[in-house]
Amino acid sequence: MDILQSIIFGIVEGITEFLPISSTGHLILLSKLLHIPQNDFTKSFEIIIQLGAISAVIFLYFKTLWNIETIKKLIVAFIPTGVIGLLLYKVVKTYLLGNESIVLWSLFLGGIALVIFEYFHKEERAVVEKNISSISYREAFLIGLFQSIAIIPGVSRSAATIVGGLSLGLRRTTIVEFSFLLAVPTMLAASGLDLIKNYNSFSVDQLGVLSIGFTSSFVVAMGSIVFLLRYIQKHNFIMFGLYRILLPILLWLIIF
């Protein structure tokens, strides 16, 4: 992987991390399109580069992240994914990451599920809107269970948590922002675990590639977060569901 490819990956990661379309799935498919082999470094790169997007959340929500109630809710929500991810780390990295077929089917079926969910989901306007700190521990844990489904590449961590929160009756803005914040411990844990296991195998050049991907991801993610918060004021996620359906069909017809 060269510098230009690293920048492209960072841009794609920054755009897709917080949208309900699976950043990991897009990075895997991008590797295929750019003919980048799926070796240990590429798989680690696809995990670690997400730290750039997560840093954008830390920058924008720094004060919120220091709220003790928010921290406790995020810890509870992280537990299911942390436990499942730790237990299935080898399975995920060996058999799921880099598997284009799993990504395409996850995108396709997840898109159908998202469209159906949004078609039938009705937000109760009379309900008083909760803020993030008022989310109950039960709701936080259940949202974490939904997030754990996203260990399957292509499912989308963002989509899983948002659908989970909406199904629990949370307002769209509340669950979207909670999803942003929940990405912080989740991706820090995933990236940290991968760094601990593989840092000795990275060369100086590879570390440079990682740094460039990290930076471009951070910059683009800032804009992506602002866009999504404005978008959900007037729209649901049906457009993203349709995109998830059409993209695999197009790739199946042209490439795979």
List pLDDT tens digits, range 118-169: 999 987 654 455 678 789 999 999 999 999 998 898 999 999 999 999 999 8
Query: pLDDT under 50 in the chain at which residues?
Result: 126-127
Instruction: Kindly report the three-state secondary structure assignment for every residue of the chain.
Output: CCHHHHHHHHHHHHHHCCCCCCHHHHHHHHHHHCCCCCCHHHHHHHHHCHHHHHHHHHHHCHHHHCCHHHHHHHHHHHHHHHHHHHHCHHHHHHHHCCCHHHHHHHHHHHHHHHHHHHHHCCCCCCCCCCCHHHCCHHHHHHHHHHHHHHHCCCCCHHHHHHHHHHHCCCCHHHHHHHHHHHHHHHHHHHHHHHHHHHHHHCCHHHHHHHHHHHHHHHHHHHHHHHHHHHHCCCCCCHHHHHHHHHHHHHHHHHCC
Question: pTM for this structure?
Answer: 0.87
What pLDDT was estimated at residue 87?
85
What are the domain boundaries of the chain? Answer: 3-251
